[in-house]
């Protein structure tokens, strides 16, 4: 009798028309729901850490920020800060903040430099960076080398436009370099640091950068973010790949 009942239960769970086992389908839905709840909880924790640590960072770094503002004002004049449109989560544009490290006519200077040095076009197209960038001021070179120019992005983190850890924010011209992986980039908030920053930064190819971003998005976790933040400290001090 029990054997008959068991067969009846198994038959009820098996859809002959579709070939789907309803019991396993229910398990799959439950697993997906659990993963969704886990992602949501992880997102709240990440946002909380971002807000707390960014607030502490701004408070602790306020003397240095004030000093940099004064030095920039004396050495380069205004503007002290620049705001560049970058692509954020879900493809939404946001104003990414930085201390100004370039000349005021940066776009014209770049166009003239590439026109005069066509052999550098390949380097620019491949990485969107130049090791010897004519737009960067002498003081700006130090700010970029030490990553001090990115400290204002703590305000972007406070506003929820960025995260402490994630893919570096990109401009519209870089979307094509992500190819089919652009969707991964838009799944999370861009970060002040990430796998790319602790893996050589500009010393790596753009393709490697994209691969690292895809890896981060696919494997992201709270503990992973903490590890990346800890590894960022020696990476910044070593200044490898920063220019």
The angle that helices 22-75 and 138-145 make with each other, rounded to 10 degrees, is: 150
How many CB atoms sit inside 10 A of residue 191's CB? Answer: 26
Is the pTM for the entire model greater than 0.85? no
CA dist., res. 180 & res. 177, Å (int): 9
Nearest Cα neighbor of 204 from 216, 212, 194, 215 is: 212
Task: Render each residue's pLDDT in the chain as its tens digit; 243 residues.
Answer: 444 443 434 345 545 544 444 444 554 555 455 555 556 788 889 999 999 999 999 999 999 999 999 999 999 999 999 999 999 999 999 999 999 999 888 778 787 877 878 777 877 777 777 777 888 899 999 999 899 999 999 999 999 999 999 999 999 989 999 999 999 999 999 999 999 999 887 778 889 999 999 999 999 999 999 999 999 999 888 876 565
């Amino acid at each position: 009798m029990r054997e008959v009942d068991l067969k009846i239960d198994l038959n009820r769970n098996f859809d002959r028309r579709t070939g789907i086992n309803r019991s396993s389908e229910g398990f799959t839905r439950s697993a997906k729901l659990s993963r969704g709840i886990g992602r949501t909880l992880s997102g709240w924790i990440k946002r909380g850490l971002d807000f707390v640590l960014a607030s502490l960072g701004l408070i602790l770094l306020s003397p240095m920020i004030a000093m940099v503002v004064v030095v920039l004002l004396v050495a380069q004049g205004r503007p002290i800060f620049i705001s560049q449109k970058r692509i954020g989560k879900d493809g939404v544009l946001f104003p990414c903040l930085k201390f100004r490290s370039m000349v005021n006519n940066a776009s014209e200077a770049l166009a003239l430099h590439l026109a005069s040095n066509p052999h550098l076009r390949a380097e620019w197209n491949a990485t969107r960076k130049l090791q010897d960038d004519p737009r960067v001021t002498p003081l700006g070179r130090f700010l970029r080398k030490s990553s001090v120019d990115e400290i204002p992005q703590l305000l972007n983190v406070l506003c929820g436009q960025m995260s402490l850890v994630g893919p570096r924010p990109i401009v519209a011209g870089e979307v094509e370099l992500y190819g089919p992986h652009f969707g991964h980039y838009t799944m999370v908030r861009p970060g002040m640091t990430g796998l790319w920053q602790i893996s050589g930064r500009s010393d790596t190819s753009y393709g490697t950068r994209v691969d690292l971003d895809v890896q981060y998005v696919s494997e992201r976790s709270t503990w992973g973010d903490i590890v990346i933040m800890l590894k960022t400290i020696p990476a910044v001090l070593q200044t490898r790949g920063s220019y």
